[in-house]
Structure 1
């Protein structure tokens, strides 16, 4: 019998990183010099937001995702904070709402115009002022609409209901006060019922978001945690930090027992903080080091040895921070399964890096694109505050097929039965179809009203005076063209569905 090496079968074994060509990068973006170990970048399918410097306060850029190339030095900014901006996050259910936190101890909510900003924005939509010290982190709840978490250097986590009345909105609805030092990172589980945190006291905690009680707390001294991240539905966490010998290290943990890690993996002796990113659809974990250009990636399994190294993406351009495109913004025609936006300070550059599964077929690869979390909330703010938890509403990434589907939902702490699930799914589908038809009607009416002179209402779009205004006008036109194409594609799909229904009716036997 001849010896054969044992290889672990995986469709993601040969995933490779592909940096964007120079014309598809964002050049000339002055990136913040803050020493905070944050990402400083947030991305959605419409915009990329990047923290920058601003005289007399803090600011960040909001750039349309298609406005690549050289950025105008006079590009307008969002600049209403009195101190440096430390964190920014897009609302997962509204691509035009972004939250920012700052050294001025405030959290601000901003509404971005439909086609981007044409002049500096200084007035926020909401101003949240309950922290007593600077606010380092903001996180949106993953399934509930208008629920925002913020962590400050006052060791407290505030929970805000942005849908409450004008008087109530300035006060947090809950305060999680269980930390004794600065909170370094936060991560939600899939349904948002639990929050994992890492703290400067070298401990990890798992907190019940509704009660504020600490469910688990790590006690090991062999692993100094910096960043913590929930691993989707695997009921596991990963932490990135340092070993007792000051080697960079990652550790995997059971969410029900933080006393001993399931596995520890030493990486190297570098000092840069590791930024972990996880894709629950492919079960892939990415590790990007601050101050270096490399990205390691692994595949996670629920059985030993849990962690399976795949490959390194290597680059000579060091990243200060990173943003990640949501799955609904990826290019499925190229088998792209993840996309980073690297902030390269030394070149004032933002470089997109796509992670691609090599496939020869140009058709949609359903096996690498399962149903994924969409842009519709599963809960209202009040439902979540009343104690309800639900998994996210899923959507398909297949072109022309955007019908949301419900995850296995929960009724209290019990799984729904088959009849409940079918009923809820039918209600969700019917509601979605009604909303879709209404949105399409509104789109047509808006396009008929505004599409004058090649897509513009000349009363609303004056003659551009600067290069930036000209670019804004160009990207508005591109956006309108894209929307019209989507509308045509939807109509074609509907026509085909009706033709099939007519054919089935004609071919069905008459009588019983």
Structure 2
């Protein structure tokens, strides 16, 4: 009997040891067809972005268009089939490459394009009734196409843009100008991510380097040369002082790596995911400490729990679907259905069907009361700093809000267009528009913007002609 018990214990020790977690049974629930968005001509552009942005009021999707770039803005309650002639935002002269909603003003969205511009749009209440061609602000500072835009997480009206000229520009939209330039990259920037208070910026680049940058000075604090593998995407893991990257190993397998933001000499862990070729998009929920991995062209979404001790990353489960995803939009936390114990919501772009599917990640709970353990205080809709405060060196954590019904507050901020001035675009002592090489047809589409055109009160187009005119004055 003793011998048999010893044999049993020794063989049981080989079984995997599962961690106890309240999120082990999280499952994905796809919305019914009538609650999806159908008939949308989703862009066929191969740029590695999501082409989708969502907030509590609107869903924005980059669309296929001829002779320029455009995107749809649809009120969330306007589900079902979208008519072919539905109004679009269509002011860009080149393909739209990225769109992001302002986190503090829900009807303001930023877009960037192959026409080398960044534009700020103000969507009217109730959505568009006709095509919108005039932006509130047209911002020209990059000499080549602009591939990424990101809003600062705690400061209102601070926008970051990354171009194919290898530069990151920081725009103060209160004055409508770039105020800082980060010029430490030697190739195209692939991804940008902020830490919790926005004092640090992490970037991945085609030069196979991962960088942690102090954005106001442009100083590189940490840098990792990933010679044996390629990093594509990076995300800060909340307040843990850790970063997670997705990329490709030397054996061409998809992998993730965990890094200490204060020491990028070696990753804390590296883990291979699979042998597929699609880009892995990481999404991190700091409230639940859950990491979601979604592959471009895959139909599945894996999710993990991030811990403070080894093995740091623990696999939970996988949502599976036969329909491949081109990109994914994510609903802000204050837009989730807490009565259904929803902890995350994706908006999945299915190109072949022209379909946008909402996918809710739900924690199964029997009780219908508010679950405080899965809904801690979360960053809200109020900015913690003004642009001048942040640019002067101040840092402040996000202003938190409760997701409990009756305690939610909506921001009352409105976008104010800056006063009209004529200035040369000079950042860090460099005139960004001096000796700008002409943009090619591939970068701007069939028509180039007219240089130095005034676009009405608060709207203007920064160009070489404007800079020369300002110098003459």
TM-score, normalised relative to structure 2 = 0.83
Question: Secondary structure at 1:232's aligned position in 2?
Answer: coil
User: Structure 1 residue 219: deviation in Å?
Assistant: 2.0
Q: Deviations over 1:4-51 (max 9, x none)?
A: 764311100110011111011000011001010001000000000000
Question: Secondary structure at 1:366's aligned position in 2?
Answer: coil
Q: Which residue of 1 aligns with 2:354?
A: 348
Q: Deviations over 1:113-155 (max 9, x none)?
A: 0110010000000000010000000000000010000000000
Q: Which residue of 2 aligns with 1:394?
A: 400
Q: Which residue of 2 aligns with 1:80?
A: 91
Q: Tell me, in whole angstroms, the C-alpha distance in 2 between the residues paired with 1:232 and 1:117.
A: 35
Q: Which residue of 1 aligns with 2:223?
A: 217
Counterpart selection for 2:77 from 66, 72, 79: 66
Q: Tell me, in whole angstroms, the C-alpha distance in 2 between the residues paired with 1:317 and 1:66.
A: 24
Counterpart selection for 2:116 from 85, 101, 105: 105
Question: Secondary structure at 1:83's aligned position in 2?
Answer: coil
Counterpart selection for 2:21 from 2, 5, 10: 10
Q: Which residue of 1 aligns with 2:426?
A: none
Q: Which residue of 1 aligns with 2:45?
A: 34
Counterpart selection for 1:381 from 381, 384, 387: 387
Q: Which residue of 2 aligns with 1:271?
A: 277
Q: Tell me, in whole angstroms, the C-alpha distance in 1 between the residues paired with 2:43 and 2:407.
A: 40
Question: Secondary structure at 1:128's aligned position in 2?
Answer: strand
Q: Which residue of 1 aligns with 2:428?
A: none
Question: Secondary structure at 2:107's aligned position in 1?
Answer: strand
User: Structure 1 residue 302: deviation in Å?
Assistant: 1.5
Instruction: Give the 5 Å matches for 1:233-272.
Output: 233-272=239-278
Instruction: Give the 5 Å matches for 1:46-445.
Output: 46-164=57-175, 169=176, 171-402=177-408
User: Structure 1 residue 221: deviation in Å?
Assistant: 2.0
Q: For the structure 1 residues 177 and 307, does the alpha-carbon distance in structure 2 shift closer, same or farther, using more than 3 Å as the test?
A: same
Question: Secondary structure at 1:384's aligned position in 2?
Answer: helix
Q: Tell me, in whole angstroms, the C-alpha distance in 1 between the residues paired with 2:232 and 2:241.
A: 20
Q: Tell me, in whole angstroms, the C-alpha distance in 2 between the residues paired with 1:81 and 1:328.
A: 31
Equivalent pair of 2:210/2:226 in contact (CA under 8 Å)? no
Q: For the structure 1 residues 74 and 379, does the alpha-carbon distance in structure 2 shift closer, same or farther, using more than 3 Å as the test?
A: same
Question: Secondary structure at 2:352's aligned position in 1?
Answer: helix
User: Structure 1 residue 74: deviation in Å?
Assistant: 1.1
Equivalent pair of 1:78/1:122 in contact (CA under 8 Å)? yes
Q: Tell me, in whole angstroms, the C-alpha distance in 2 between the residues paired with 1:21 and 1:221.
A: 45
Runs of 5+ in structure 2 lacking a partner?
414-473
Q: For the structure 1 residues 403 and 56, does the alpha-carbon distance in structure 2 shift closer, same or farther, using more than 3 Å as the test?
A: closer
User: Structure 1 residue 310: deviation in Å?
Assistant: 0.3
Q: Deviations over 1:314-361 (max 9, x none)?
A: 000100011000000000000000000000001000000000000011
Q: Tell me, in whole angstroms, the C-alpha distance in 1 between the residues paired with 2:204 and 2:126.
A: 37
Q: Tell me, in whole angstroms, the C-alpha distance in 2 between the residues paired with 1:265 and 1:109.
A: 39
Q: Tell me, in whole angstroms, the C-alpha distance in 1 between the residues paired with 2:86 and 2:104.
A: 26
Q: Tell me, in whole angstroms, the C-alpha distance in 1 between the residues paired with 2:230 and 2:263.
A: 17
Q: Tell me, in whole angstroms, the C-alpha distance in 2 between the residues paired with 1:329 and 1:403.
A: 12
Q: For the structure 1 residues 100 and 403, does the alpha-carbon distance in structure 2 shift closer, same or farther, using more than 3 Å as the test?
A: closer
Equivalent pair of 1:106/1:129 in contact (CA under 8 Å)? yes
User: Structure 1 residue 403: deviation in Å?
Assistant: 6.5
Q: Tell me, in whole angstroms, the C-alpha distance in 2 between the residues paired with 1:49 and 1:403.
A: 23
Equivalent pair of 2:381/2:409 in contact (CA under 8 Å)? no
User: Structure 1 residue 402: deviation in Å?
Assistant: 2.7
Superposed CA RMSD: 1.4
Which structure has the highest helix share of the two?
1
Instruction: Give the 5 Å matches for 1:491-510.
Output: none
Q: Tell me, in whole angstroms, the C-alpha distance in 2 between the residues paired with 1:33 and 1:53.
A: 7
Equivalent pair of 1:220/1:260 in contact (CA under 8 Å)? no
Q: For the structure 1 residues 403 and 65, does the alpha-carbon distance in structure 2 shift closer, same or farther, using more than 3 Å as the test?
A: closer
Q: Tell me, in whole angstroms, the C-alpha distance in 1 between the residues paired with 2:226 and 2:53.
A: 33
Q: Tell me, in whole angstroms, the C-alpha distance in 2 between the residues paired with 1:224 and 1:384.
A: 33
Equivalent pair of 2:93/2:115 in contact (CA under 8 Å)? yes
Between Structure 1 and Structure 2, how many residues are aligned? 402
User: Structure 1 residue 55: deviation in Å?
Assistant: 1.7
Equivalent pair of 1:396/1:403 in contact (CA under 8 Å)? no
User: Structure 1 residue 220: deviation in Å?
Assistant: 3.4
Runs of 5+ in structure 1 lacking a partner?
405-431, 437-512
